[in-house]
Amino acid sequence: MKLIQSGDYCKRLNVRDNDDLYIKSFLMEVNKLLDELEKTDNCRKDLAKCVDSELLNILDLIDKGDGSNEELREAVQAFHKKTRNKIVEVKE
């Protein structure tokens, strides 16, 4: 449990043959929750990478100073599209 609490979401609780039916059922449900938590955590990390990358791209355009408003607009629209797609992935 300490490994799971520390963020190692790939760990699962084991069901033993001699465990009571209720304990087996409980552990199976906990493992399903861990699956969802792992998926959500991976999506969150992907979203953070996407946001960082796109914002650095936009900042680079601004810092160069030679980017037109249209280029900045396109970069912001691409950023918006990518983040919306990542958010939709998290909801699924």
Q: Give me the residue spans of the domains in the chain.
A: 2-91
Going residue by residue through the chain, which has 92 residues, state the pLDDT in tens, using 9 for 90 and above: 777 777 777 778 888 888 889 998 998 999 998 888 888 888 888 888 888 888 888 888 888 876 678 888 888 888 888 888 877 776 66
How far is the C-alpha of 37 from the C-alpha of 9, rounded, in Å?
7
pLDDT of res. 26: 92
CB 76 within 8 A of CB 62: no
Pick the closest to residue 9 from 33, 44, 28, 27 (CA basis). Answer: 33
